[in-house]
Structure 1
Amino acid sequence: MSIPGQIAAALSLWIDSVANTVSARLERARGAQQIAISEDEEGALTLRLVSKASKDADLPPVRIGIVDGAISTPLSPEWSAAMKGAIVDLALRPSRFVFRPLELPGRAVEFLDGIIRAQIDRLTPWSPAEAVFHWTPPQPIADDHVELTVVATARAAVTSLSQALLDLGATAVDISTATPGMERIAVHHQRIGGQTGSSRLRFALIAVLAIAGVPAILSIGLGGIVTDSYDAEQQQIQRRIAERRAIARGSQGGPGGSAIELLARRKQTMPSAVMVLEELSGILPDHTYATELRIEGDKLQITGLTHDAPSLIEILERSPHFASAGFFAPTTRAANESGERFHIETRIKPQFGSGT
């Protein structure tokens, strides 16, 4: 997926999440009846009222069974009436879920949804489309890293349960579970009532983002055009200076100087892959392993494993052969890898050696 496509997908997920959250809170504020359902070790569900209407004040908890994702025990008329228009909090057993610890650099917190979504098929038996998942709040650890736990299960397993409750008349179903540390975490939200409100909130958020984003995009676009124009002009001036110097040296070097000056100019203006590899082998630390190198024009992209990714930026910046180093993708750390997987891009200075 292209970068604009990834941005659009992330914005869509954020808008849906905000719209559903705000809509659910508005429903609770309007006094919608709330029902808490918990699953016991035998797989049965226990229903109890959390917020009670006056007519349901004496309604006792009830235990029902489920078979293949469907409710096998019919509800009493009183509970069927209480279920109409209610918001259901369904707490499932942790054994239905997989829990995967994950360690990431602290700067990756801003991109958690995209990072976890991209790795969900490696962390769990399911693809992103087949799973519902969420994660615990990131906790800081040593070396400016954070750790969290990804909680996931099969989408079909939970949607069948939530749909069964919606079919009984519930307005919305929130599904959660308890992590090994007994922390409650919500992994899925499904609703049928209030769809119009969610849609209106979604359109309102899109309109606000559009109004605020258009001037910002125009500003960024104009800034990029101006910057590119200055960069192109600077490169053209540098090429002209190099050509003038080559011509001046050629006129002083006699009849045989033109071919030599042509080679010298080529050496000064074209980056050498051999020299790039030689320079990298000399400056990269022993704990750093490059798994992929790509040279496109004067840009070098390096991918690999290291124990300290931020320090590589400073090392490359100190080299006389590289400039403008930075990360072009988030740095990640998987549980089965000994180091951080980094993605760094830097500009290769065209002149290597003494300038001869």
Structure 2
Amino acid sequence: MTAAVDNSATPSLRQRLEGAGLRLRPGLGGFWAWWTQALASWLPARMRSLLGLARERMLLQRSGDELRLALVREDGMRTVGSLPWTPGEAAREDDVLASLLPSRLVDMPRWLLLPAGAGLRRRLSLPAAAAERLRDVVAFEIDRQTPFSAADVHYDARVVARRGEQLDADLVVVPRATMDAALASLGNLAGTVAGVDMAGEDGAPLGINLLSDAARRRRADPWRAWNWAFAVVAVVAVALAMWQFLSNRNAVADAFAQQADARARQARGVADEKRQLVDLVEGMAFLQRTRAARPTTVEVLDELGRRLPDSTYLEKLSIEGNQILLIGQSSEASALVGQLEGSTLWRSPALTGALQPDPRTGRDRFTLSAQLAVDEAPSNPGAANARGQR
């Protein structure tokens, strides 16, 4: 039994993809199966076998007084060996294979392989949508395609080819009596059988399971607990990573906010200093303009010294705002107004009150007022500055 596995028993990648495409429509289960198989195909064969992802099984086939063992893998089928199988061996209560095979082979699913002549095969043409529930669909074809009724046989079907909206499927039926006899010949090993397949014309399994859903032995996944543990660890790790990422982002946001506040305070301080500087510059400019627009006290005193006669002396000179007030004595008091007129430093000189003779000095006491000449807006800043520097 060294023949290669039939291509129909091991679907091609295209067939698996097409089958997955049909399974995707009704739900998520088909997509999950296709996705896990696609991921597993990238792993080495030894790693797939270690993780329980490799589609491996042990075939048991009765041939006369021998029980032949064959190992089916994705890359083919190879014979493991054979052992005598007498009624005495079949009657043993212990698992005879457990003491003969390595532990890795003992844990593999065991399948009974029926000879090609144990049942009937019929080729059916069905709609492509029937692939999703192929076993239920072909159950209605047993009465028409075989001389048996559905209650008298064990059956299964497999997809052989797809043609657009149609598919070709093989219906395989085995009489219940033949199936029961084959299982009974295994003795105690019949309870360990996970499925029943039938050999094709080349001796390779067809890739079907003739056991009913109720009779199929579900194999416990030894990695199920570890898978759940790994899944929980992965979820916790992802949650911690997301929490750490969020915490880091919050820390960065807080640091950025503090930096922005510091920059804002610095900007406000710079703005205040700039405003103070602008106010100072504007104030100095205002003072300079004001100073340039009005005569200085030195200029007023110099002008008075040149215009007042020598017989006149001042007792008081005050400049308050734009008002000039002169109090003094002069022998020419009545002529002072005429002498002060025409000056560019003041306007409208006039005597205030009557002249009062002073018998002691022989001069007249006078009080004279004038308006200081102030330019509202100097048209020549250079001249105003020159005036301010005098």
Report the TM-score range of the alignment, normalised by the length of the smaller protein.
0.3 to 0.5
Select the structure with the greater relative contact order (CA < 8 A; seq sep ≥ 6).
Answer: 1
The normalised TM-score by structure 2 is 0.32
The normalised TM-score by structure 1 is 0.34
Answer with 1 or 2: which has the greater Rg. 2
